[in-house]
Chain A
């Protein structure tokens, strides 16, 4: 199954064309042009599936990835000065990412036709979605660091546009303002991107190449030479980009606020695909990371996994629970890659994309129904007191009867994310935890914290996801009575994506053997870690401990999931554990969690206040010194002009006027003589005559 550049060019071009057409003609097309965007992404999905199955069954990229180059993209190809070419590279990882991106996009676009129905900017919403799809595919398909960075920034842009899509609404959830949430996301990402760009430039300055393969080759041949530690620094700088994009602590703050976007956006961009870009980047540049950099990555990921899970425990907003859950799950992928479980990290990226997209879409379906119920009951949301909040799980409960499809599909996703057997999540999470177990307990006991964090997060994940399911769908309903009759299942275009995603949460697609004892599934052979390009001086030899750890890790993670579910059951049935009691008891820990560890407050008092203070000082400096200098120059000029004005007025003008005045005055005086009286003239003539005579006589 050979593929050609036509396939990939089509995959890239279709969403871009759909975006351009939508932006200019979206309003005039029937149905707001959603069919155009969905048609484009559907064709993309078919093409991607063809590429993927070609790779899976016919090994089309075995050993050699598909590469196509556009020479002379930048610089001068003739002289070779800074001549850079761009292009497309497709291997197994790309093929998997293509399918994940296009399948999630297709289902979520379809869901959006129901969720966004009737919105005044319906067409524009689809335009932005299409722009996102194009950017994400560019990010995935590019064969070099610059193309990766361009895709990276473009997904950031479409994320910004979509988070702020409801910009005219003052608040969409407690404390979330779309117009500032999108700025927060963009600026936080910019901080990470600075590191990312510095990393790219470090690599470029040492190797002079940008294409992945060339960079790896150059590094392998000793491009870093004596500065081997700089490679670690470059790796950590690159990872900074992933920290922002994949919401790793401490740059995670934008993701919970990104829930200000419409729910399909949260599902597609802020759960399934874009946030996985950081993980994809780490996987793509995997050969460059030195063991030190990987350890840093592993610790960041493990801490984030636990951090996100603890905050998710006490959140009550349905989307916030999922947002912190996403942060936690991204931490899983990142530390999976960090501990060397390369295929496990990418595998979890794929399974997480499906079940988290499903969870978000289900949440969207629930929010949709809740809005209808409140609208029907004539109740308005009060953002200040939090009353009648359609996103607050404390206002839900018992929705399973009204929304059976949403309930069942959500339950599947909850089982998957908690790592229960017979789900996709069990397979991927187990692989990651197995890797972590081998890394922290067997290979490097000094790094035991990484698996400990991982397993603790697994317990918490099972707990908060069960709590999410119970509070939303089970028990007695807490929806206002007048609104209950309006609660009903969402239309087909919203439930079909839910069902399809739920089907993808099953184990069968990934491994026919749900226990993974007898068969390892296609993933571990399909997504094999690339050979490291790091100079051998930096690498410590490691034993393949994964097999030893595998079964033990699986058992431990099962126990973890069980413990989490048990705790949630206690919470629900027995009241033995009550978050409400915990809250009312004024526990410091509860306060810490409910306030998300005060990270936002910390940033506000340090970074934001620092920036504001610095800006004030600069503003004062500007006002006093720069303005002072400018004003002084101005004043000097004014003075000089006044002086020259005076000279002009009294010197030059005085001379001219004086002359004129002299002539005029003289004329006036002389005129007196000419009286027109003949007698006077005669007198003058006579006097003159006498004078003449007297003078000549003398």
Chain B
């Protein structure tokens, strides 16, 4: 029987993979992908907790909201990355330091 700890473990592994991707990658697209992994780990937690703790739909609705928000965020982020590429002909996040103080 699949219980809550199993979900949480998968979720933690997903989050760790996301963090790892964000920390180690320089490619802006790869960073976005890492962020998406972490977001989905959170979504998984929402769904799992709502199912196993009080058997209601509120966690799943939050997850839906989060997915929509993430989609919008990715759209914006990809547009920024595209613009960065246009300006400096690279998507290496470390090289995009124009706004650095």
Contact = CB atoms under 8 A, between A and B. Distances in A.
B100 A679 contact: no
Contacts of A677: 94
B19 A678 contact: no
A676 B97 CA distance: 9
B24 interface: yes
B97 A679 contact: no
B23 A683 contact: yes
A682 B100 contact: no
B22 A682 contact: yes
A686 B19 contact: yes
Contacts of B94: 677
A678 B100 contact: no
Nearest to B25: A679
B93 interface: yes
- Indicate the size class of the contact surface on chain B: under 10
Interface in B10-29: 19, 22-24
A682 B97 contact: no
B35 to A, nearest CB: 10
A686 B19 CA distance: 8
A678 B97 contact: no
A682 B19 contact: yes
Contacts of A683: 23
Contacts of A686: 19, 23
Contact of A676 (B19, B22, B23, B100): B100
Nearest to B15: A686
A682 B100 CA distance: 17
B45 to A, nearest CB: 14
A137 B94 CA distance: 113
Interface residues of A, number: 7
Interface in A650-698: 676-679, 682-683, 686
A676 B93 CA distance: 11
Contacts of B22: 679, 682
Contacts of B100: 676
Nearest to A685: B19
A683 B24 CA distance: 10
A682 to B, nearest CB: 6
A677 B19 CA distance: 14
Interface string B73-101: 00000000000000000000110010010
A574 B74 CA distance: 154
Interface string A19-35: 00000000000000000
Nearest to A678: B93
A678 B96 CA distance: 12
A199 B7 CA distance: 133
B11 to A, nearest CB: 14
A3 B100 CA distance: 115
A678 B23 CA distance: 8
A683 to B, nearest CB: 6
A675 to B, nearest CB: 10
Contacts of B19: 682, 686
Residue among B19, B24, B93 with the highest chain A CB neighbour number at 10 A = B19
A268 B19 CA distance: 125
Contacts of A679: 22-24
A683 B94 CA distance: 16
A683 B19 CA distance: 8
Contacts of A678: 93
A690 to B, nearest CB: 10
A252 B70 CA distance: 129
A304 to B, nearest CB: 109
A678 B32 CA distance: 13
A683 B22 CA distance: 9
A570 to B, nearest CB: 127
Contacts of B24: 679
B19 to A, nearest CB: 5
Interface string A255-298: 00000000000000000000000000000000000000000000
Contacts of A682: 19, 22-23
Nearest to A679: B23
A677 B26 CA distance: 10
A679 B94 CA distance: 10
B88 to A, nearest CB: 17
A682 B18 CA distance: 11
A685 to B, nearest CB: 9
A683 B100 CA distance: 20
B77 to A, nearest CB: 13
A655 to B, nearest CB: 34
A679 B92 CA distance: 13
A692 to B, nearest CB: 15
B26 to A, nearest CB: 8
Interface string A468-492: 0000000000000000000000000
A679 B24 CA distance: 7
| Among B22, B24, B97, residue most surrounded by chain A Cβ atoms (within 10 Å) | B22
Which interface residue of B23, B24, B93, B94 has the most chain A CB atoms within 10 A? B23
B7 to A, nearest CB: 18
B75 to A, nearest CB: 20
Interface in A360-411: none
Interface in A291-314: none
Interface of B: 19, 22-24, 93-94, 97, 100
Given A676-B100, A682-B19, 11 more contacts: A676-B97, A677-B94, A678-B93, A679-B22, A679-B23, A679-B24, A682-B22, A682-B23, A683-B23, A686-B19, A686-B23
13 contacts: A676-B97, A676-B100, A677-B94, A678-B93, A679-B22, A679-B23, A679-B24, A682-B19, A682-B22, A682-B23, A683-B23, A686-B19, A686-B23
- Rank and list the top 6 A-B pairs by shortest CB-CB distance, nearest first: A679-B23, A686-B19, A682-B23, A683-B23, A682-B22, A676-B100
